[in-house]
Amino acid sequence: MTMSAKLGGAILGGALALAVGLGAAATAAAETIRFAVTDIAGLESLQTEFGDFKAALEQTTGAEVKFFPVSSRTAAVEAMNSKQVDFVLTGPAEYVVFRSKSKAAPVIGWQRPDYFAQVVVMADSRYQVAADLKGSKIAFGDVGSTSAHLGPAQALADLGLMPGTDYTPMNISRNVAVEGLIRGDIAAVGMNFTHLQKIRKAFPDHGFRVIARGRDLPNDILVAGPHVPEATVAKMRAAFTDHAKVLMAAILTGDDNKKYSGGVFLPKVADTDYDYVRSMYHTIGVTAFDSFVGN
What is the rounded CA–CA span in Å between residue 96 and residue 146? 11
**Could you report how far apart the first and last alpha carbons of the chain are, in Å?**
77
Distances from the Cα of 28 to the Cαs of 31, 177, 225, in angstroms? Answer: 6, 54, 21
> What pLDDT does 17 receive?
43
* pLDDT score, position 292: 82
According to the 3-state scheme, what is the secondary structure of 214-243? EEECCCEEEEECCCCCHHHHHHHHHHHHHC
Give the span between the Cα atoms of 144 and 151, in whole angstroms: 9
Q: Please give the torsion angle defined by the CA atoms of residues 184, 188, 72 and 267, in that order, rounded to the nearest 10 degrees.
A: 160
Q: Is the pLDDT of residue 78 over 70?
A: yes
Q: For 195-248, what is each residue's pLDDT tens digit?
A: 999 999 999 999 999 999 999 999 999 999 999 999 999 999 999 999 999 999
Residue 161 has pLDDT above 70, yes or no: yes
| Nearest residue to 33 (alpha-carbon basis) of 221, 229, 219 | 229
pLDDT of residue 9 exceeding 50: no
Given this structure, which CATH class describes domain 116-216?
alpha beta
Domain 30-113+218-283 and domain 116-216 have a common topology: yes
CATH code reported for the domain at 30-113+218-283: 3.40.190.10
Q: State percent of the chain over pLDDT 70.
A: 89
Least confident of 64-68, 155-159, 198-202, 289-293: 289-293
Longest C-alpha distance within the chain, in Å?
Answer: 104
Return the pLDDT at 196: 96
Q: What order of strands is seen across the sheet that includes strand 220-224?
A: 64-67, 32-37, 87-90, 220-224, 105-110, 265-266
For residues 4 and 281, the model is more confident at 281
Higher-confidence residue of 133 and 25: namely 133
Domain limits of the chain? Answer: 30-113+218-283, 116-216
Instruction: Report whether pLDDT(15) > 80.
Output: no
Q: Distance between CA 94 and CA 200 in Å, rounded?
A: 29
Q: Within the chain, where are the H helices? A: 3-29, 43-61, 73-81, 92-102, 151-157, 174-183, 193-202, 230-242, 244-251, 275-283
One-letter amino acid for residue 250 of the chain? A
CA dihedral of 104, 107, 111, 115, whole degrees rounded to 10: 10
